[in-house]
Each structure stands twice: as C-alpha cells, then as structure tokens.
Structure 1
Amino acid sequence: MNQKILVIEDEIQICLNIQQILSFSDFNTITANNGLEGLRLAKTEKPDLICCDVMMPELDGYGVLIALRQDPLTESMPVIFLTAKVDRDGLRQGMELGADDYLTKPFSTEELLKAIKLRLARIEKPTLIKQQYEQEHQQNANLKQQIQANSQKLEESQHQAEICNKVLQKLLQDLGNPLSNINMAIFMLKKAQSDVERDRYLSILQQEYAREMMFLNEMKNLQRLLTPENAKILQRFNLLNHSK
C-alpha cells in the first residue's frame, strides 16, 4: 500500500507541483490549500507524513503544528515545514513546537523526496528513530546554546559600540572647544593694536594648542585602553557620562 502524504500549501501552483512530484514517486498524495482544511484532512485521512507551508492566512504552519501535537490522533505525525525564509528564530520556534524538518523554497525534487523518505524511514525503524531523535534533540540543544551565545555576543558588541560612540562624542565635543577659542584668538590677534593685546592672544593660542594636543593624546590612549572589559569599568564608575 502506497504511503499517504498530506500537502498543506496555500499557493495553488506550488501545491499542484508537489502533488505531481509525489504522485510520480508512487506516493498517495492529498492536498489542502489552508491550515484549517489541512487539520481536518490530517484527522480524517491519517497521513503518514505532512508537508506544510509556514506562511498561510487564517492559520499558519505553526498553528497547524500546535494543533497536531495537541491531538492524540495526530501528535506523532511527522511534519516537514515548507518555507520561503528560515531565520534562526523561526527555526528555533518550529523545532521547539515539534517540527521534524525544514525545506527552504525553492527546493529541488531530490531535496523534497530525500526529506520525505528519511522521515518515513524513521517511522518504520523505531530503534533508529530513537537514536536519531536523541541526536537531533542534542543538536537542537546545541543550536539553542549557540543561538544564546551568539545573541549574548551581539548584545555585548552593540553595547560596546554604544560606549565607543559616547566616548567619541565626548572627545569630539572636547576637541571642538579649544578650536573655537583658537579661532577667536586668531581673529582678535589680527585686530590687536598693542603688544600687550598681541601677547595676550598669543598666550591664549598657546594654551588652547596645548589643550588640543592633550585631547589628541587622550584619544590615542583611549583607543588602546577601550577594550570591552575596560569599557564596562568606565561605565560602572559613570566616567563616560562625565561632562564639564
């Protein structure tokens, strides 16, 4: 007896294409064009495997999967998600809900048949199913750990970037103040009418030049010192938000 495959896909042409591919491969194929109809067929037709689109109106693939896993009649049916896009959050959500596999559109005939035959083979070999389930469970656990680690690294990188941006903004502000004074002193120096006035504005220029060089040296030092660890220390003591 041919094994029965239920295809739930709201794109009519894609659904027909998959049905034709499976029929040519001697599978008994039934189809539904929305999640609600797919659930009904899953309970009445009891397919050996379900291929289900993720993005569908009214009831999407995740909703279908939740309903299947909550019903004793359908909870053990293998489900392969068909989706145009798989991000880490979507992959994690589907695996946590109990999806057996993902196929990203556009997929080849070989990819579709290989995924289906693999899942059906696991039904026929309970020992292999258990071993592979444990392996996949460990892989999912590793994937979750990797996602968490990557998320933490991303947060730390974003946090580091924010800290560096604050430091840069403060240094730019500090660098701008002497330049304003230097510009003003040059203007006044041009209009000076006595040696006393010229000496006064020259003194201002020297002082502001020295201050500007000090800030530039500070920038070089901060570039070496502003590691993630030191940035956290600076923020802890509120040094990055200090303003004159």
Structure 2
Amino acid sequence: MTKILVIEDETLLRENTIELLELEGFQAISAENGVVGVQLAQKFKPDLIICDVMMPELDGFGVLHQLRQNSATATIPFIFLTAKTERADIREGMDLGADDYLAKPYEANELLKAIATRLEKHTNLMQQYQTERRRAEVLGKEVHDLQQFMTTQEDFLNNFVQELKNPLSNINMAICMIKDAKTDHDRNRYLQILRDECDREINLLNQIEELKNLLTPENSKLLRQLNLLKK
C-alpha cells in the first residue's frame, strides 16, 4: 500500500486530508509540525510527502532541506501546500527540490491529481534507474571479464617467451658440445639433443596460433569500445 506522509499544523485541514487519502486507499501518516514530520519521514520512508510551508518550530522549507540531505529520504516526491503564492516563495521551494506546489485553498481532485502525477513520475524514474543500474552491472562484469582475459593473455605471453628461451639455450649448448665431441657416439647423442630441442621450439612456435584464437573478433571489438585495446 502506498504510504503518504502529511505534515500540516492546521488540525482540521490535516485530519480532512488524512481522511481523503485513506478513502482513496492510501496509507496516511500525519505530523502536526515540521520536526515531527522529519522524524516520521525518516522512520517510515513514505512514498510521497505532502507538507505545509508555514509552520512553527520548523517550516516546510526546513523540512525539505533536511530530508534532501539524507540519502534515505532524498528522492521521496515532495508536494508543498501553501497560502504563499509569490513567485519567489515557489522558486525557493523548487530550488530545494520540491516536486510540486498546491495553493490553499485547493480542491480534493487537485490534490489527488498532483499525487497521482508525482507517484507516476517517481515510478518511471525508478524504473529508468533500475534499467541503468542493470546496464552498469552488465558492463562492469564485461570489464571484469576482459581484465581477467588480458591478465591471462599477459601471463601466457610471459610464459611463452620463457619457454622459447629454454630450448634456444639447450640448442646453443648442443652445438658447442657437437664441436667438441670426441666420438661418434657423443656426436650422435648431442645431435639428438639438438633435434629434440628444435622440435620443442617448433611446437612452441605453433602455439602462436592458440594465442591468436584467444583474441576473437568479438573480444577485440569490445576491448576497443572500452579503450582497453589500441586500434
């Protein structure tokens, strides 16, 4: 059930407004002044707040200012009820983040229409927010996956370079040992070492194709879109 907080110091107007809202199926909460209104707003997190401007202790502007400073209440739709219809007063409320103004006296249908409009706009904004949040989560996962991919690729390259160096060292050593071989048996043994290391080197070079396969066109496109890969 939609919760609406009514902050109004005029008892009769407050009670009539609460009754109207309850007849329309809303859960109505009342506060007799701004201080109590702020406390109830923070406690119940209503879906919408209707607030008088001119009140003792804490006026409507002060209420709105405090609620907009609190992340838990900052986005609650806020409608001012006021007998002050000067442009400067309205501008002050809008600058603080008010969503609408209703001038006293107002008709019941005016209030209900304003409530419906603000609730609908707030719902649409929250849906857009959730959509963008889901998109951000998906993008964040893609970035994380790509970072892992690039780390894996870098590790592969480092290992690959090291593996290439090992056979080359053994090949150089075998060549030197062949030159100094005293017997055919030793020469043949060193030649076999040379053949084995050459085969090993060729096998490593063939693995370059595996590295190419890791960088698929899809991954390359996404990497470039995120400026993680130079064009």
Q: TM-score, normalised by structure 1?
A: 0.51
**Structure 1 residue ranges (4+ consecutive) displaced by more than 3 angstroms after TM superposition:** 127-130
User: Which residue in the other structure is 1:56 paired with?
Assistant: 55
Aligned length: 129
Q: Paired residue for 2:89?
A: 90
Is 1:123–1:129's contact at 8 Å kept on the other side of the alignment?
no
C-alpha change, 1:109 and 1:128, in structure 2 (3 Å) is farther
The answer to whether the 8 A contact 1:122-1:128 is kept is no
SS of 1:47's equivalent?
A: coil
Q: 2:112 is matched with which residue?
A: 113
Q: Which runs of 5+ in 1 are unaligned?
A: 131-244
AA partner of residue 25 (structure 2): D
Identity value in percent: 53
Following superposition, the deviation at residue 85 of structure 1 comes to 2.1
**Pair 1:75-2:74 in alignment:** yes
- The equivalent of 2:3 in structure 1 is 4
State the alpha-carbon separation in 2 of the partners of residues 56 and 90 from structure 1.
14
The residue correspondences of 1:110-149 to structure 2 (distance < 5 A) are: 110-126=109-125
Q: Is the 8 A contact 1:5 1:28 kept in 2?
A: yes
Take 2:78 and 2:87, find their aligned partners in 1: how far apart are those partners? 18
Report if the CA contact (8 A) 1:79-1:100 is conserved: yes
Cα-to-partner distance string for 1:22-52 (whole Å, 9 max, x where unaligned):
0110000000000000000001001000000
Q: Distance in 2 between matches of 1:73 and 1:63?
A: 17
Unpaired segments ≥5 residues, structure 2:
130-231
Q: How does 1:163-242 map to 2 (within 5 A)?
A: none
- Once residues 48 and 122 of structure 1 are traced to their aligned partners in structure 2, the CA distance between those partners, rounded to angstroms, is 12
1:205-236 C-alpha deviation (Å, 9 max, x unpaired): xxxxxxxxxxxxxxxxxxxxxxxxxxxxxxxx
Alignment check: 8 A CA contact 1:122 1:129 kept:
no
Tell me which residue corresponds to 1:43. Answer: 42
Matched, 1:99 2:98: yes
2:68 is equivalent to residue 66 of structure 1: no
Corresponding residue for residue 17 of structure 1: 16
Q: Secondary structure at the match of 2:119?
A: helix
Larger radius of gyration: 2
- Give a deviation string over 1:121-173, Cα, whole Å, max 9, x none: 1122128989xxxxxxxxxxxxxxxxxxxxxxxxxxxxxxxxxxxxxxxxxxx
Distance across 1 between alignment mates of 2:128 and 2:105:
28
